[in-house]
Amino acid sequence: MSEAALSTLQRVWGYPDFRGPQRQIVDTVIAGQDALVLMPTGGGKSLCYQVPSLVRPGTGIVISPLIALMQDQVAALEQLGVRAAFLNSTLDPDTRRAVELQYQAGELDMLYLAPERLQQSLDLLKRGNISLFAIDEAHCVSQWGHDFRPDYLGLDIIHQEFPDVPRIALTATATIQTREEIASRLGLEAAPKFVSSFDRPNIQYRIVPKNRARDSLLRFIRAEHDGDAGIVYCLSRKSVEQTAEFLRDQGLDALPYHAGLTAEQRQFNQKRFLRDEGVVMCATIAFGMGIDKPDVRFVAHLDLPKSVEGYYQETGRAGRDGEPATAWLAYGLQDVVQQRRMIEQGEGDAFRQRQQSLHLDAMLALCETAGCRRQMLLAYFGEDAEPCGNCDNCLNPPKTWDGTVQAQKLLSTIVRLDRATGRAYGAGALIDILLGKRTERSAAQGHDKVSTFGIGTELEDASWRTVVRQLLAMNIITAVGEYGVMRVTPRGAEVLAGREQVMLRKDEAAAVARSSRRTS
């Protein structure tokens, strides 16, 4: 089997060999087995299904949620002489018909399909011969994740309708939770999982307090990335425009990219970014999916990403060539306030809001940690790592304060409440107790009878919140369930027993959060 795979790789792509786990994955699928593939962006997921599609008899069906990406991939495959086509909403009826006929006649090696077309394409699919199903961006099936697409829930029909065809699901973003959800929703529990390391050692992670952010961005670029290609992510279209203009005024080759521009403008700017050297693309997160530019030297965030997954994905667009690159983020007061408000006023139901809020908390924890950023980022994806020596916190360890006593106060509040009421509570209720705040609800539940009531007045509400976030970040407490109620972890038990000291970060992030309470 491996012979055919390797010779196909060399003949069609001209690559000498497979990279990392590709060979094993390809062998698995060629042998007719399912597979679940977790590989960071740039890891080389496409070949994992493209090569088996060519080696196995029949057409490889690829489910892909992004029309632009689909078109790019098909165009690239055609250039290599692969018979590939796609079916999505952009096709006129004649072209669609032609593709369908080609498929039925067995003239296609690969057919890309938008997920919303699957149901209506079942009859068509049955009239051809299928070599495999590839489910790209498989995390879209996860309701816990940050990129849920309802159409993905319907993909379990593949298994019912084509039980003998191997399926390979792929994603670049998966926490352990998402991973399990993908496996269970797609019926891939028994499939071998191929988990690559998510570490991107050449990326240096840096998170700075937000203070005249555009000026510090400019200083950063001038000092470290003069003339380099980079991406600057902003939350709003307006801020994209303003940032691009600001950088242009300073003599940089900066361009805007957001959904408010015409398709031509977007395409033009994207082409300039890909083709010319040293273009700085100021963009909303609409930009970047499927952009394969290896020499992006920095990715900057002027606003806080909504989730660690998003942050990882966006920063992952830097340094795909393996050369040193920087991920730079400015994090400040307004971000927290604004994002909390967006969540509260958003369309999501209570469940969704809760999810979004937990995603935000995880992102805040990454911003506020005094420990190694990379270590924490990888831990989020279920990987153990040593401190990296190549992030801001490793290079310049932040000032810390001994928060052991405060941690113990919080931990014992959790324990005592559990004893007194048999329940667990969220951060807000715990902090209210520590501050001795009386509310009707807390009185009704007897919170003011807990012996830690009012023993935490040395810190303000906002400071307690950063303490909570950092304790979460250190896995001293953990947030569980739909409501994110706090529980003491084994490590927390050590702290409570006085066997571990807790050093907390002392810096502007705390000050930022402190003032955030006043405005919100």
- Give contact residues for ligand ADP (rule: CB under 6 A): 15, 18-19, 22, 39, 41-47, 292
Q: Which among Zn ion, ligand ADP, none contacts residue 388 (Cβ within 5 to 8 A by kind)?
A: Zn ion
Nearest approach in angstroms of CB 173 to Zn ion is: 21
Instruction: Please report whether residue 394 would count as binding Zn ion according to CB under 5 A.
Output: yes
Q: Which among ligand ADP, Zn ion, none contacts residue 39 (Cβ within 5 to 8 A by kind)?
A: ligand ADP
Site size for Zn ion, by CB under 5 A?
5
349 burial via Cβ count (<10 Å: 0-12, 13-18, 19+): exposed
Chain centre distance of CA 208: 20
Binding part of the chain for Zn ion, among 100-108, 318-326, 369-377, 402-410 by CB under 5 A, reads 369-377
Instruction: Please report whether residue 474 would count as binding Zn ion according to CB under 5 A.
Output: no
Q: Which among ligand ADP, Zn ion, none contacts residue 22 (Cβ within 5 to 8 A by kind)?
A: ligand ADP
In whole angstroms, give the CA distance from residue 403 to residue 338: 28
Chain centre distance of CA 267: 25
Q: Which among ligand ADP, Zn ion, none contacts residue 42 (Cβ within 5 to 8 A by kind)?
A: ligand ADP
Q: Which among Zn ion, ligand ADP, none contacts residue 276 (Cβ within 5 to 8 A by kind)?
A: none
Tokens of 506: 């002392």
Q: Which of 5, 372, 467, 510 touches Zn ion (CB under 5 A)?
A: 372
Instruction: Please report whether residue 435 would count as binding Zn ion according to CB under 5 A.
Output: no
Using only C-alpha atoms, the chain has a radius of gyration, in whole angstroms, of: 25
Nearest approach in angstroms of CB 48 to ligand ADP is: 8
Nearest approach in angstroms of CB 205 to ligand ADP is: 19
CA distances from 409 to 369, 472, 497, 513 (A): 20, 15, 12, 20
Binding part of the chain for Zn ion, among 177-185, 261-269, 327-335, 384-392 by CB under 5 A, reads 384-392
Q: Which among ligand ADP, Zn ion, none contacts residue 372 (Cβ within 5 to 8 A by kind)?
A: Zn ion
Q: Which is nearer to ligand ADP, 47 or 410 (CB)?
A: 47
Nearest approach in angstroms of CB 394 to Zn ion is: 3
Binding part of the chain for Zn ion, among 3-11, 101-109, 206-214, 383-391 by CB under 5 A, reads 383-391
In whole angstroms, give the CA distance from residue 9 to residue 18: 8
In whole angstroms, give the CA distance from residue 358 to residue 361: 5
Q: What is the DSSP string of 171-195?
A: ES---HHHHHHHHHHTT-TTS-EEE
Sign of CA pseudo-dihedral 422, 428, 432, 434:
positive
CA distances from 2 to 32, 43, 51, 77 (A): 13, 20, 11, 21
HSE (side-chain half, CA atoms, 13 Å) at 220: 25
The site for Zn ion (CB under 5 A) is made up of 372, 374, 388, 391, 394
